[in-house]
Amino acid sequence: MRIGFETNLCCPKCRANVLLNSGYTTRDSRVFEGSLVCSEHGVIFRIVESIVVEELQLDEALQAVSNFWTSHVCGGEWNEERKQFEDLRKYRYETHPWLSEVAEFDKHKQDRVMEIGCSQGIDMVEFLNMGVKEYIGVDLSFKSLLLARRRLEHFGLYHLPVTLLCSNAENLPFAPAIVDYVYSYRVIHHSADTLRAIKSIESTLRPGGKLTAMYYYKYSLTALIEGFTRLLNRALMVLTGNQNTFWKLCRKLPYKPAIGPYRKFLDTGYSAILHAPFAHTFSKSESHIMFAAFRIESLKLYNLSPIVRPFLGKVFGRKTVAYLASWIGWDLVIKGSRI
């Protein structure tokens, strides 16, 4: 954290300003270890290896979310540095070719960008390479943020204006209207209270500030497949008395991308939808209600079910797959601006 950024943070309990406590240490012009205090509530944030960590008092639901994504880091953890940082980055954009269009990496060069659910910072690198004014990455998993900080060092971006914050998206500890662009991909539907997270995001955006958010589409092909998979997984657990039977069967599938086994089911042995504490789905009509405080510019669907996408791509071609995705895709992407 750079000295001075603390003026953008506030106490999540009383919304008062916080101050950098004396006794902090620095490294490479950043606060490396230290604490931020509220005059009424004491220490609110600790700075650990340049990552700002909120002293979270999570309820049971949010603690379950934090525990799950700490144990199942999105994208996985690899022993080889090349796999962790370079191969994983290549894999993400090869399997999600629409991400540049969705994220708008090259359209926010003069903006303060906040990513909600930045995980290990793969998209962070793209924003920084495009020269954004400032980047703020928020995630509930400290382990993921450590990987993000290592990613900055790996790609030689540690010197840029970046703040990594371990905090809860349902109650973002920021002063109001400090952000120009909020980006969140595959995150807010895993929140215990998605609507509360949206309202918290709204408060951080300046009037006219832009938003891009992706969440699961209620009427997608994937939702249908995952619904069937849930039933199959539950049936196998009842029949065998072993919750890992479904995972063991999946291990026998022949589909193994170069980065590793099929991440959805095989990387950690769990599916985010099957086992994450929350994986909400929403329709387009619900989106208009949830984002009533925004001027909605577009609602688009991407990403046909990854279970059938490789097969359909080989048989019918990418254009057909893209057309089907625009109709029954899994990723519902909303773009808008704060009114």
Q: What pLDDT is attached to residue 251? A: 65
Cβ-based neighbours of 319, under 8 Å, separated by 6 or more: none
Token pair recorded at residue 131: 């020269």
Domain borders along the chain are: 1-50
For 207, the 3-state DSSP assignment is: strand
Helix (H) or strand (E) holding 299: strand 294-302
Q: Which of 75, 118, 68 is nearest to 275 (CA)?
A: 68
DSSP string, 256-290: --TTSS-TTTTSSS--HHHHSS---EE-HHHHHHH
Helix (H) or strand (E) holding 97: none
Is the full-model pTM beyond 0.85? yes
Rounded Cα distance, 9 and 168, in Å: 13
Q: What pLDDT is attached to residue 244? A: 76
Instruction: Look up tokens 């629409």; give the residue.
Output: 98
Rounded Cα distance, 129 and 47, in Å: 25
Q: Which of 240, 239, 266, 235 is nearest to 253 (CA)?
A: 266
What does the DSSP 8-state code read for residue 85?
I
End-to-end CA distance of the chain: 31
Q: How many CB atoms lie within 10 A of CB 142?
A: 16
Residue 271 Cα distances to 25, 79, 279, angstroms = 41, 22, 11
Q: What pLDDT is attached to residue 258? A: 44
Q: What pLDDT is attached to residue 43? A: 97
Burial class (CB in 10 A: 0-12, 13-18, 19+), 122: buried
Rounded Cα distance, 137 and 37, in Å: 21
Whether 217 contacts 282, CB under 8 Å: yes
| Residue 160 CA from chain centroid, whole number | 21
- Radius of gyration of the chain from its Cα atoms, rounded to whole angstroms: 20
pLDDT in tens, the chain (339 residues): 999 999 999 999 999 999 999 999 999 889 999 999 999 999 999 999 999 999 988 889 999 999 988 988 888 888 889 989 998 899 889 888 999 999 999 999 999 999 999 999 999 999 999 999 999 999 999 999 999 999 999 999 999 999 999 999 999 999 999 999 999 999 999 999 999 999 999 999 999 999 999 999 999 988 887 788 778 888 988 999 987 787 677 666 655 544 443 344 344 334 555 678 898 999 999 999 999 999 999 999 999 877 677 778 888 888 898 899 999 999 999 999 999
Token pair recorded at residue 33: 């270890």
Q: What pLDDT is attached to residue 242? A: 87
Whether 201 contacts 167, CB under 8 Å: no
Q: What pLDDT is attached to residue 246? A: 74
User: 138-168 pLDDT, tens per residue?
Assistant: 999 999 999 999 999 999 999 999 999 999 9
